Amino acid sequence: MTAYDTIIVGAGSAGCVLANRLSQDLDRKVLLIEAGPPGGHLYIRMPAAVAMAIGSKKFNWHYQTTPQTHMNGRRVSTPRGKALGGSSAINALVYVRGNAYDYDHWAEMGCAGWSYADVLPYFRATENNAFGSGAYHGSEGPLVVSHPESENPAFKAFINAGVELGYPYNPDNNGETQEGFGPFQLNIKDGRRWSSANAFLHPIAQRKNLTVMTDQQVLGLRTDGTKVTGVKLANSRNIELISAETVILSAGSIGSPHLMMLSGIGPADALRQHKIDVAADLPGVGQNLHDHLEVKVKFRMTKPLSLWRHMQFPNYLLAGAQYLFTGTGVCRQQGLEAGAFLSLDPNSPAPNTQLHFINALAFDGATADDRGHGFAIDTTQTRPESRGSLSLASADPRSAPLIDPNYLAEEKDRVMMRDGLKMLRELCAQPSLAALCGDELRPGRGVTTDAQLDEVVRNTADSIYHPVGTARMGTDDMSVVDPATMAVHGTQGLFVADASVMPQLVSGNTNAASIMIGAKGSDLILDQIR
């Protein structure tokens, strides 16, 4: 039986950071296991290919939710990355930390040591930011954070329309303030995706004490009572057992709680229903699932400023060839380079709405109506109140779990999405954007009443792929992970560090926060195992 000091399950946004930090001690034997491939494919490297990366059967787990009660029974796509870099290998490359309020609220919720003042040093230490070094940014870290290259007038029209509507221009939503319209920062280096694997794993690939396994699925944890002693690994013929002093789950908000429950760590009654022996009764495992839901307005463009012409045959072949052979051209961008953070509720302690401007009618899945020049803007409630759960469909580790975010269960969430659509219409009526707006494709000019807008939300809203919270940090009875150590309550030798530990969503895209969790979590875990 092969033995290691530490096994890390999942080479995603946080897992690659963990592998880097824990293997710095050359006397520690570290194993990093990833279910997907190495991830060097063109679809992953090329920013413009993000829709193809997400659509790939090779690089995406392709989860779906259960039928959503408050969305007319629709199942909602829940992509999760399956390659070195995890979801940072297939995401839209947007680098957003969230709001200072988010982390201060975590601390108020029982996660001492996770306030904004506590986590800011980790954001600064991990990044090589185009803004340079300062109070809010670092320039010595391996994670490249760049400015958009595009000077497309459509992005400028969106930002200018926001200013015309009365919001501030904000060139740095990761700086002192988050509110306002402006460009997004991106994880792109020299026109290439800069995933967590690129930043934290590839530079240390030659460390002799670090073993990286790809295309290997962990089926469960090895346990001896409440002590975790290793993992069960699938190979071509049988199950391989690998032992370790410590195991760190970094398989994300879907994978980490799923593996715990398969291994007898979770709600005891639910585990017994699947004839799984209970190692630790933790009712909070799989609970607190929540996600960012978005709904779009779509307009045809009066000017040919979108990415449409590059998406047609043979133009996309020519653009791909230009990128492949010269590293130049439109394929260096992903079409999502500007956005906004604002409050639709005057009583909100921080911006509660995020906008993404998409320079095409569709970003990651087109319909027949998404042809021709046009743009889309989505509105997202950054801190939704609805909570759902993740549970076992079967004791078979190869069966996907039941994913129920319970979208729109809370009235406030429904109102926020409706108000977001109204605000987007106001935005598109401002002079800078109005000049580009042709026909309104969604919601459609005939949609005017609250009831009609609510139906548009139920029928068209989608996830923007930020599930969190299923192994949340805390000290109460429903928490799963100790915020001071990253250890799983009621177990020995088991830790979690990924987006599943977030007690509440951050106000923005979750990749940056997940990387921070990997960095801070590394320090906390090392304090326990040294």
Q: What does the chain come to in residues?
A: 530
Place of tokens 């990924």: 498
Identified catalytic residue from 105, 202, 292, 466: 466
The Cα–Cα gap between 323 and 514 comes to 30
526 Rama sector, left if φ>0, alpha if ψ -120 to 50, beta otherwise:
alpha
The Cα–Cα gap between 23 and 433 comes to 51
Contact 507, 350 (CB under 8 A): yes
Contact 517, 497 (CB under 8 A): yes
Active-site residue 466, yes or no?
yes
Residue 349 token pair: 């302690």
The Cα–Cα gap between 71 and 63 comes to 17
Nearest to 186 by CA among 308, 85, 335, 294: 335
- Local structure of 411: helix, strand or coil: helix
Backbone angles phi, psi at 342, to 5 degrees: -155, 170
Cβ-in-10-Å burial (0-12, 13-18, 19+) of 523 comes to exposed
What is the largest distance, in Å, between two alpha-carbon atoms of the chain? 68
The Cα–Cα gap between 263 and 257 comes to 10
Q: Which residues form the catalytic set?
A: 466
